[in-house]
């Protein structure tokens, strides 16, 4: 008798059909010289001793390419905190992947950047925390970060890498968005990603200091729309709006387990970078199981695939294949239930409370920040 | 859509943008910063011709001869297709030397 392959099923046992992933986020370390108060890493950070080796990453990249992944985003923490970053990059290119390097620019010298060029980095994304030294250094919690970043941007364009600027916007800097666009253009960026802080994890600890006002969200939208017209053919603007002020939720990950996956520093595989905020969900590790098995067969990836698991009002909503019920981690954070309709959706029964809480946070007068750091528990 | 390329301009794929065979899906994709774009046969035929030497007009003439198609139609299709990619900064343009 042959073993029958397990039929993938969602959280309620409905059969699902996994597609193929296009992109993988490789968070190769959680170590970082910066301490941004909205860091997207989990609040429980992985320590250096638990990081998987460059050789392990090579195996993961080959498995990812076999699975259909075309691009890898090598990120962290700060990926430059790993001395073997160039080897990791070379392993990704050997596997046939397009390599995006997502960096703070801190701790990578010009000589090292040239090594990364030789190793095959295709594209560099540099994060900026402000348009001037005072704001940049305060938000990043790293004195001198601004000067280092400006030098780094110059090396990037001197070597010839395509450059994207990553700018996270929030209440304390949203008025500076026009100047941020100017700065990105001056630095020679082909693209800028303007992302409003997503209030999970570290950022949620700083809601009262970072939540934008409704007026700021409208201002940012206007600046982005004008900028796209003015900069057409010169610089691309990608924009993640403030979803607490939106009518419908964002289509997180383009649908759970549909096009992307995330591998953490210790080899844990996640359907999205914030998935560990769902406390009951169990995740698998590339040290124990192949990426293909994890993608196709694991409970975590199958849990919210398809649409059969959706509750009302999502189940009968015509947008269920547009925004997929929104963000599972946000449902967890705001409704206390990862299966719920994302409460930022105007159709959610919890929506009025979300808006009220967002407006209360936006009206808060505090500017003081809780910075990201490793716990001191051991 | 205002065109972002004229017939005498030379279109090219800048650093960080390349054509790649997707062996899993058995298609050709255009790889670019944070984007992998599926190409149809026409898109692949056009982008495979970009050599950084010939102008759009000269490539259109070559494609018209090869596929026995009206050159005016190919020029118009190329102009629109490349304008879309120039907007996304996936194709760059330089003037004639």
Q: Is the pTM of this model over 0.80?
A: yes
Average pLDDT over residues A343-359: 93
Query: How many Cβ atoms are within 10 Å of A144's Cβ, its own excluded?
Result: 12
Across the strands, what pairs with A263? Answer: A26, A269
How do strand B35-38 and strand B27-32 relate by DSSP bridges?
A: antiparallel
Q: Look at residue A3 in the predicted model and tell me its pLDDT.
A: 53
Residues of A in contact with B16 (CB under 8 A): 122-123, 161-162, 190
**Cβ contact A71–B36 (<8 Å):** yes
What is the C-alpha to C-alpha distance for residues A39 and A104, in angstroms, rounded to an integer?
12
Which tens digits make up the pLDDT trace of A86-128? 999 999 999 999 999 999 999 999 999 999 999 999 999 999 9
**Cβ contact A70–B89 (<8 Å):** no
Tokens describing residue B49: 């011709």
What is the C-alpha to C-alpha distance for residues A57 and A60, in angstroms, rounded to an integer?
5
Q: Look at residue A43 in the predicted model and tell me its pLDDT.
A: 86
Domains and CATH numbers, chain B: 11-91 (1.10.10.1150)
Average pLDDT of chain A is: 94
Residues of B in contact with A195 (CB under 8 A): none
Average pLDDT over residues A135-155: 95
Residues of B in contact with A166 (CB under 8 A): none
Q: Nearest-CA distance from A126 to chain B in Å?
A: 13
Q: For residue B1, name the pLDDT band (cuts at 50, 70, 90).
A: confident
Sign of CA dihedral A152, A153, A159, A165: positive
Which tens digits make up the pLDDT trace of A23-33? 999 999 999 99
Chain B residue whose CA is closest to A67: B24
- Per-residue pLDDT for A5 more than 60? no
Percent of chain A with pLDDT over 70: 98
How buried is A292 (Cβ within 10 angstroms: 0-12 exposed, 13-18 middle, 19+ buried)?
middle
Q: Nearest-CA distance from A220 to chain B in Å?
A: 21
- Per-residue pLDDT for A6 more than 80? no
Q: Look at residue A324 in the predicted model and tell me its pLDDT.
A: 93
Q: Look at residue A376 in the predicted model and tell me its pLDDT.
A: 58
CA distances from A140 to A35, A223, A246, A369, B17 (A): 5, 24, 28, 10, 31
**Cβ contact A122–B36 (<8 Å):** no
> Burial letters for A203-221: b for 16+ Cβ neighbours within 10 Å, e otherwise?
bbbbbbbbbbbeebbebbe
A231 at B interface, C-beta within 8 A: no
**ipTM confidence score:** 0.95
Q: For residue A2, name the pLDDT band (cuts at 50, 70, 90).
A: very low
């Amino acid at each position: 008798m042959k073993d029958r392959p397990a039929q993938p099923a969602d959280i309620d046992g409905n059969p699902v059909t996994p597609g193929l992933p296009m992109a993988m986020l490789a968070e190769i370390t959680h170590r970082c010289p910066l301490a941004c108060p909205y860091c997207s890493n989990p609040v429980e950070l992985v320590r250096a001793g638990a990081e998987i080796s460059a050789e392990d990453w090579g195996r993961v990249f080959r498995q990812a390419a076999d699975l259909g992944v075309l691009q890898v985003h090598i990120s962290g923490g700060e990926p430059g905190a790993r001395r073997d970053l160039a080897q990791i990059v070379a392993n990704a290119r050997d596997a046939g992947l397009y390599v995006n390097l997502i960096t703070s620019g801190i701790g990578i010298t010009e000589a090292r950047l040239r090594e990364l060029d030789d190793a095959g980095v295709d594209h560099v994304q540099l994060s900026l925390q402000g348009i001037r030294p005072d704001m940049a250094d305060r938000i990043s919690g790293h004195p001198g970060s601004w000067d280092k970043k400006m030098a780094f941007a110059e090396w990037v364009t001197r070597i010839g890498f395509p450059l994207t600027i990553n700018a996270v916007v929030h209440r304390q800097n949203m008025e500076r968005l026009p100047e941020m666009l100017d700065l990105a253009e001056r630095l020679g960026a082909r693209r800028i990603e303007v992302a409003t802080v997503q209030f999970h994890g570290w950022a949620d600890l700083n809601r009262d200091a970072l939540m934008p006002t409704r007026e700021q969200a409208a201002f940012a939208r206007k600046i982005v729309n004008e900028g796209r017209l003015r900069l057409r053919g010169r610089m691309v603007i990608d924009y993640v709006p403030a979803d607490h002020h939106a009518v419908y939720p964002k289509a997180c990950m383009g649908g759970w387990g549909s096009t992307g996956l995330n591998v953490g520093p210790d080899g844990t595989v996640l359907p999205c970078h914030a998935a560990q905020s769902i406390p009951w969900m169990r995740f698998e590790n590339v040290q124990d199981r192949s990426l293909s098995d994890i993608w196709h067969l694991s409970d975590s990836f199958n849990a919210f695939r398809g649409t059969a698991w959706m509750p009302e009002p999502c189940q009968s909503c015509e947008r269920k294949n547009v925004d997929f019920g929104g963000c599972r981690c946000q449902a967890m954070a705001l409704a206390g239930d990862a299966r719920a309709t994302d409460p930022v959706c105007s159709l959610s029964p919890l929506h009025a409370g979300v808006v009220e809480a967002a407006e209360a946070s936006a009206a808060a007068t505090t500017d003081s920040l809780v910075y990201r750091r490793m716990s001191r528990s051991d | 859509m205002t065109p972002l390329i004229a017939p005498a301009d030379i279109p090219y794929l800048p650093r960080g943008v390349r054509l790649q065979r997707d062996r899993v899906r058995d298609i050709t994709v255009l790889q670019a910063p944070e984007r992998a774009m599926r190409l149809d046969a026409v898109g692949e035929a056009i982008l495979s011709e970009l050599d950084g030497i010939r102008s759009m007009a000269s490539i259109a003439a070559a494609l018209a001869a090869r596929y026995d198609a009206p050159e005016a139609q190919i020029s118009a299709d190329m102009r629109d297709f490349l304008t879309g990619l120039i907007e996304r900064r996936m194709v760059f343009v330089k003037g004639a030397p």
